[in-house]
Amino acid sequence: MLRPIFLVMFIAAVLSAQEITVPQFSFPDSTYRVGQVIYIGNEVTKYYIIEQEMSLKPGALITYNDLHYDINRIYSLRLFTKVHIDVLPDSGGLATLSVLVTERWYFYPFPVLGIKDRDFTKLYYGAGLAHNNVAGDNVQLYGAFAIGYDPFVSINYVNPQIDPVNRIFFSFRAYYTEQRNRSLVSLAGAPNFDERRSGAEITIGRRFSLFTLITMKGEFLNLAVSDNRTGRTLSSGGRDEFYSLHSAYIYDSRDLKEYAKLGSLVSVGVSKYGLFEKDVDYQRYSFDLRTFVPVREEFTVAGRVFGNFAYGGTVPNYGHTFFGYSERIRGHFSTILEGEHIAGAVLEAHVPIITPRYVRFERIPFEQFKDMRYALNFALFADAGNTWHRTEPTALNRFYTGYGAGFHLLLGYSAVGRIEFAVPYGSSFSKGEIILDLGAAL
């Protein structure tokens, strides 16, 4: 509970908010080429962390579109609360790019408060400690614990450039969680149960270009069920222990990762579950394709097609794919679909109501929270998807579909909130549902 003095301070800070006028580009479009690039405001962050996200390199023609694109790419690093690029004309048709940033708060304890599976009844809470920019190299080191729904403890280390010359990526994660069973197949009329999971992951990858990344992840998982019954694990003793290997190719040219209006994402993955074990031995093949096409005056059409398919040996119930948890079909938002395979599609149209801008909270004492970016969009959408088992046929007329409209609010620190109204395809509006959700749908 907030003490009255803190509540008064919070209200005073909000009331002190003032709109910030972002400077507009005053030079003619496509007039100058990049001479040099200077960086201002990155007191902690190394300049090359920003540089590697920019498409505008020395000698490149400077266009309005490229400037806006690079601003969003830099903001997507999630290291800055504000980003702007000034163009300072030099002689001989060249111009200096002045990249101005305001850094976020990097090292801090934080409360853990969230919802699991996008369900507001599944609340968890706890605390953690994070450093999101160790040595200014965009290295992330954080640990956290939570109680409530699916309690957990975890420690994570992410280094996007452990070898800057070869652009090698490395990450490590270790965790323990008590996760509530999601599988309806595992229930079989019995009371629900917990899956006690402990494990570790090591990921190594290489960034080949501005957009292209290839990764390889090794993982160990120890999973035990609180109530052992037939089919809940592949081993008869109620505990599965196995190694798995995952590889992925990722092409990501999106301008703003949390809510893009330009670019594409192509992600293709192959996973092998069970490397030396006799009980667990199956494979998964996945793809996730997204594209964002600006049509005119900030109007954007976005689409996503994705799938994940199992082959080989028996897939454990806890390894099934689902709609109704992290993946949802709007119009059937709370419907749980379970199978060995999953496929889905999303189509959205985004119309800006408030284009990205900044507001300044003068009375907030921390500089890292004074300037906050926000935007508001109206969206139309249509979703489709289904899950199925290898023994079942699949057809497009068996897919669950829905459509609707809503408002998407983009806030500082890369937060996205959505309020939407969705209707199952072929049903009346009286069958519609109101959706409150966090994060973009694609």
Q: Are residues 268 and 363 in the same domain?
A: yes
CB atoms within 10 A of CB 11: 11
The answer to whether position 150 is within a domain reads no
Flag whether pLDDT at 312 surpasses 50. Answer: yes
Q: Are residues 288 and 409 in the same domain?
A: yes
Q: Phi first, then psi: what are they for 35, rounded to 5°?
A: -95, -65
CB atoms within 10 A of CB 245: 15
The model carries a pTM of: 0.82
- Among 103, 122, 147, the domain-final residue is 103
| Confidence bin at 202 (pLDDT 50/70/90) | very high
Average predicted confidence (pLDDT) for the chain? 90
CB atoms within 10 A of CB 9: 15
Region 376-399 average pLDDT:
89
pLDDT at 114: 82
Residue 135 CB-density burial (10 A; 0-12 exposed, 13-18 middle, 19+ buried)? exposed
CA-based nearest residue to 347, from 401, 419, 418: 401
Flag whether pLDDT at 394 surpasses 80. Answer: no
Give the 3-state secondary structure of residue 34. strand
Residue 90 sits in a domain of what CATH number?
A: 3.10.20.310
Residues 317-362 have pLDDT tens digits of 999 999 999 999 999 999 999 999 999 999 999 999 998 888 877 7
Q: Which two tokens stand for residue 14?
A: 């909000």
The residue ranking higher by pLDDT, 374 or 200, is 200
Region 247-269 average pLDDT:
95
* Amino acid (one-letter) located at 373: R
pLDDT at 215: 97
| Confidence bin at 120 (pLDDT 50/70/90) | confident
Task: Report the percent of the chain where pLDDT is more than 90.
Answer: 70
pLDDT at 5: 39
Region 414-428 average pLDDT:
94
Q: Are residues 186 and 324 in the same domain?
A: yes
pLDDT at 298: 77
Structurally, the chain folds into a number of domains equal to 2
Q: Where are the beta strands (DSSP E) in 135-211?
A: 139-148, 152-163, 168-180, 194-207
The answer to whether position 37 is within a domain reads yes
Flag whether pLDDT at 227 surpasses 60. Answer: yes
Q: Which two tokens stand for residue 303?
A: 């689409």
The answer to whether position 423 is within a domain reads yes
Flag whether pLDDT at 23 surpasses 60. Answer: no
pLDDT at 398: 85
pLDDT at 119: 81
Region 223-245 average pLDDT:
94
Q: Are residues 85 and 192 in the same domain?
A: no
Give the 3-state secondary structure of residue 126. strand
Q: Which two tokens stand for residue 289?
A: 């394709």
Cα–Cα dist 128/22, whole Å: 35
Q: Are residues 414 and 304 in the same domain?
A: yes
Handedness of CA 418, 424, 429, 430 (dihedral sign): negative
Give the 3-state secondary structure of residue 397. helix
Flag whether pLDDT at 277 surpasses 80. Answer: yes
pLDDT at 87: 93
Q: Are residues 287 and 399 in the same domain?
A: yes
Region 403-423 average pLDDT:
94
For residue 344, what are the domain limits?
181-438
The answer to whether position 9 is within a domain reads yes
pLDDT at 7: 40
pLDDT at 3: 38
Q: Are residues 85 and 224 in the same domain?
A: no
Cα–Cα dist 317/181, whole Å: 9
Residues 289-302 have pLDDT tens digits of 999 999 977 799 99
- Among 79, 103, 127, the domain-final residue is 103
Task: Report the percent of the chain where pLDDT is more than 70.
Answer: 93
For the chain, the farthest-separated pair of C-alpha atoms sits apart, in whole angstroms, at 78
Give the 3-state secondary structure of residue 276. coil
Residues 60-113 have pLDDT tens digits of 999 999 999 999 999 999 899 899 999 999 888 999 999 999 998 888 787 888
pLDDT at 361: 79
The answer to whether position 142 is within a domain reads no
| Confidence bin at 396 (pLDDT 50/70/90) | low
The answer to whether position 271 is within a domain reads yes
- Among 39, 69, 103, the domain-final residue is 103
Q: Phi first, then psi: what are they for 64, rounded to 5°?
A: -60, -45
Flag whether pLDDT at 6 surpasses 60. Answer: no
Q: Are residues 91 and 186 in the same domain?
A: no
Containing H/E element for 422?
A: strand 415-424
Q: Are residues 36 and 185 in the same domain?
A: no
Containing H/E element for 306?
A: strand 299-312
pLDDT at 395: 64
pLDDT at 111: 82
360 pairs with which residues across the strands? 18, 371
The answer to whether position 424 is within a domain reads yes
Q: Are residues 95 and 197 in the same domain?
A: no
Q: Are residues 96 and 238 in the same domain?
A: no
pLDDT at 115: 82
pLDDT at 16: 54
Q: Are residues 264 and 411 in the same domain?
A: yes
Residue 274 sits in a domain of what CATH number?
A: 2.40.160.50
Q: 196 vs 21, 26, 82, 150, 299, CA distance in Å?
A: 52, 59, 42, 10, 46
Residues 143-195 have pLDDT tens digits of 999 999 999 999 999 999 898 888 999 999 999 999 999 999 998 888 999 99
Q: Are 344 and 323 in contact (CB under 8 A)?
A: yes
Q: Are 356 and 75 in contact (CB under 8 A)?
A: no
The answer to whether position 350 is within a domain reads yes
